[in-house]
Structure 1
């Protein structure tokens, strides 16, 4: 059954009206900057190969610039979403162009004397292809001379096959430049999105509102880009030209590109880019029109807030007195030296403040949650629109600093070895009584205390998942929390939680582990991906070996399953009972779906030398990942 979202309660409407006093709503400079340099709006809807609409600018008309914030949206988030609705092809400065907001990320093109340099490629092939078509129509039909990935996240490389022909990369005609060693970039770009891709995709669907309708009661934007689109094509081409040292330069299409290597910041591998001929600078996602995540809610490695500040300061030292524009892979640029310096200094100090104050309170014995409730940014930092929590939030960033520096335990013995959530809930429900918990949840809801209402009702929902009254009341509480949230990811999580409680588990709209990314994985990571599928207790007594001979790579690897773990190493092993030979794409299928081996062998795609029953035994030890697992119910 599909439920219609409820209205904002009087308490939520009042909270959102009161929030206006915390924001500088009279500052309209961002609106002028987001409009600046528009060459062409998006010409039409964007369709997928199956004819389905992937992007339609008209779907965001409810975010019209003159539309006042509704009671169901925090006014700060409404303002940011109105800015993000502005999209199309823009001239940033002579020779530098961006296509913004047909995707969660931007595509930037630098026009040189004899070619185009593409900086970041959006998340999807379809949106990148539309962006390049607009460049070709309105700017230049010069060939692509190089592609640059600023960092290892999928929304910056996923559209690459809509930008460049893989054959041109393979031939060396078009380099793909990226931070870190080639192996490190592949490892982090593919490993992060694939090895934990099932869990990450599920969590991302909540955080980015992919399961919600696009309206004032659902997803309004992703905060740093337009709403993510399910069902797009995510591609990957491995880098060919690594940047591992600050000061490295490349001459591309007649222009100089100088790089500042900034690892372990917003991504494990990241870099800033300076183009002196254009006086143009990007700090990738280390400087945005939003506070960033120190720990993403979708799930990724915890970042180093101190490094954000360190590399932004180094950038100011190198180019701060020269930069005339800062453009990013999300949102809109900042023009003028004063504006660029203000942005970088303020964001530097914001990340440093979060880092230092979190650790100050840690050293005084505070727990992560206590510190997050206490720390507020100084007004000079907190009132800046670009420091507001449209991607990360101050609250969860403070807690992430604790995670990065001190680990997952908060220091309180009660949290060292607690009972799991369902067992804890059952014990509390037995102690307090279901009726009393429900009554308290209702009392808190009616009082506008939605945090407590959701928290106390969580006990009852986990103790009695079939308790419809508890589920629907908790959904109501989550819904109001979503309406009040300034951070779009908090909003998305709360509103999608309400949807799951009311309607049941919703199908996952996308998966980061696309076939393109799986096939692009280096061989060692491919075995790591297989290893996380192994059911450890079931494989505890197994002892089996298989040699995999990758004929297109001229490599052989031995896989061994023993003591409940899967290990792999280069080289053939003596007396291995089975050798599987074939190209990497076919062997990846055998490794992850052993039951396909017989069919692949009959078709001639692979050869099996030895005892094929080893694969049957191996296949019986592998787990399957359901992308539709519940989040807010047991």
Structure 2
């Protein structure tokens, strides 16, 4: 479906709640289709064991509690007349239409019933009123984009991942609520789905002039950039697994991402804030709207803040309280979060704002209305993060290790019946292991696991001792036929590592992973198993995937971050035994560095120059950024007159030649890389 031009409707009288668009309706299936066949020719239907497990869950889950569905639909105004949003580059950036199968009213045995329920709730698509003067566009990206009506314009909270989806959301709001300028943007935290679409709603020149405020918590710029740089390539590759970004949507494939459908694949941008919230609690009035910010560093993001609207009795919970227990450790990779601090900040918010709040909304999921309901959810999530921290340490102090914790930790029964306390985004299996990792690290204290062989080195011995590949295949198939999937993966995974070209082994492991994936409540865990199954069957997929970097991110890197990244890119074996010292001077930024290659490591120290250096490069930041974006080399800039070199360039050229660019498509499962 092409992306239609978005017309701007006549202005609606300001200050009045808009009436629903008579030609629109709340999310329902359109042109509903029957369940499609499996998207992969080698794919399997749910086994009798998976079907039995899903059937039992439908009997035991608290499905009679429909409050989330009432809250999900409340305030609906209108949905757009399109399902796809096209990227400026020409591919599909966003497609809600591919998830219409979820609205057929059918139970799918290939989806955990609790996950299917969450996936239906995340089919919100369109414009919603939260309370008087506060609106959200949901279903245009992984996150929600929120619009608060000021005296003269819109204050935008969290402008999504991509400029294209944010632009479409603003157009939808202006169409139905009356066109107004954006006077401010609030970044609640430092993850890309909360700032990446900013260029779709404001012009950078207006920010630089002060016409538009961009407000963010202290440390925002550092963390927004740093998380995506040093391990960015590995994180992007692992995102194929956690987010299933290149997996076809459908009952057998991608169904949801717990806090939204998925992440848009458009243009990611970043405009630096011109207002920073530095105090723990800070009040500010913007365009007539009074806001109280609560800094919550080290919770869902290293830089994050909640917002209280005292005149509206509305509490913005950022990504600290959504419709799920979140990740203490996110599977794509990130620093392990502090579950206890998270609980404490929710507790503080409860006593600061929760006692008065009449509506609580957030950057994901749907709002909660009524003070009793708000306090229930805040207390429940507060207690769940505290329980995770405390009970894992309770078990760890009795000798339960990181390799046992996920099988030992149990959610309290009082929380199992609460939908807001379920582990959609952060499964309790991987969250419990994360807590012990935060305090005790990855080692289980068994010396046999302290310096283990790599899997590909140990696997041949396992295969030999188990009687060879055919014996493993026979036993693995037998275990699979009995529904003992976790036992089956133990031995078949060894065979795949020992014989990466053994397609029969890879196909059997894919079958095993697929059934395990079908049974998972957490879409992150489901996607990881199903993405691995896809790659084992037909190799690493290709296609448009979400971005975590781009020109804005690179420009926002500090010079020190870039030099650190050069050290990561360097092929240490090639540089072993070589020595180089050079000064890097950036006069327009008043920066200077000593960069030294020594003992196969590249280090940089800011604020110094070395009189004995082999070379001094003097270059303004704008010309250095061209080098940072790989559009020119330092030597190119010297030859073009954009930089000055004093000393011997040959050693620096040798260093730059030793940098090894990273490939996104590296293997995770053996034998899956395209030839």
Fold agreement, TM-score > 0.5:
yes
TM-score (norm 1): 0.95
Deviates more, 1:368-377 or 1:350-359: 368-377
Q: Is the contact between residue 594 and residue 615 of structure 1 (CA under 8 Å) also seen in structure 2?
A: no
2:118 counterpart of 1:83: no
**Equivalent position of 2:108 in the other structure:** 70
The answer to whether the Cα contact below 8 Å between 2:42 and 2:537 also exists between their aligned partners in 1 is no
Q: Which moved more, 1:351-360 or 1:572-581?
A: 572-581
Structural mapping, 1:11-410, within 5 Å? 11-44=49-82, 45-64=84-103, 66-180=104-218, 184-230=219-265, 232-410=266-444
**Which structure 2 residue ranges, 5 or more long, are not aligned?**
1-38
Equivalent in the alignment of 1:467: 502
SS at match of 2:122: helix
Whether contact under 8 Å (2:580, 2:652) holds in the other structure is no
Distance 1:217 1:2, change over 3 A: closer
Total equivalences in the alignment: 629
Contact map agreement 1:543 1:562 (CA 8 A) in 2: yes
Distance 1:552 1:14 in 2: 68
Give the Å deviation of 1:577.
3.7
Partners of 1:590 and 1:8 in 2: how far apart? 52
* SS, match of residue 618 in structure 1: helix
Equivalent residue number for residue 425 of structure 1 = 459
Of residues 111-120 and 614-623 in structure 1, the stretch that sits farther from structure 2 once superposed is 614-623
Give the equivalent residue in structure 2 for 1:533. 569
Structure 1 position 504 matched with structure 2 position 539: yes
Q: CA deviation at 1:245?
A: 2.0
SS in 2 for 1:194: coil
Q: Is the alpha carbon distance of 1:538 and 1:595 closer, same or farther for their aligned partners in structure 2, counting shifts above 3 Å?
A: farther
C-alpha distance in 1 between matches for 2:638 and 2:177: 50
- How far off is 1:404 after superposition? 0.8
Distance 2:622 2:252 in 1: 44
Contact 1:104 1:330 in 2 (8 A): yes
* CA distance, structure 2, for counterparts of residue 93 and residue 341 of structure 1: 18
Q: For residues 42 and 472 of structure 2, what CA distance do their matches in structure 1 show?
A: 26
* Shift, 1:187, TM fit: 2.1
In the alignment, is the contact (CA less than 8 A) between 1:198 and 1:512 conserved in 2? no
Deviation at 1:246, TM superposition (A): 2.1
Structure 1 residue 389: Cα displacement: 1.6
Q: Say what the alpha-carbon RMSD is for the aligned residues.
A: 2.0
Q: Give per-residue Cα distances to partners, 1:405-426, cap 9 Å, x unaligned.
A: 1111122222111111111111
Per-residue Cα deviation, 1:184-242 (whole angstroms, up to 9, x for no partner): 32221111112110000011111111111011111011111112233x11111222222
Rounded to whole Å, the distance in 2 between the matches of 1:49 and 1:158 is: 15
Cα distance in structure 2, aligned partners of 1:321 and 1:57: 37
Measure, in 1, the Cα distance between the counterparts of 2:73 and 2:42: 35
Deviations 1:504-530 (CA, angstroms, capped at 9, x unpaired): 123473442323212211222122222
Of 482, 485, 494, 1:447 maps to 482
SS at match of 1:369: coil
Measured in 2, the distance between the counterparts of 1:247 and 1:435 equals 65
**Are residues 2 and 81 of structure 1, via their aligned partners in 2, closer, same or farther at CA, if it must alter by over 3 Å?**
closer
Residue 305 of structure 1 contacts residue 354 of structure 1 at CA under 8 Å; is this kept in 2? yes
- Unmatched segments (≥5 aa) in structure 1: none
CA shift at 1:248, angstroms?
A: 0.9
Q: Flag the structure with higher helix content.
A: 1
Q: Give the CA deviation at 1:596.
A: 3.0
- 1:455, distance to aligned residue in structure 2 (A): 2.0
Bigger mean CA deviation after superposition, 585-594 or 538-547? 585-594
In 1, distance between residues paired with 2:546 and 2:359?
35
CA drift at 1:608? 4.1
8 Å CA contact retained: 1:187, 1:525 = no
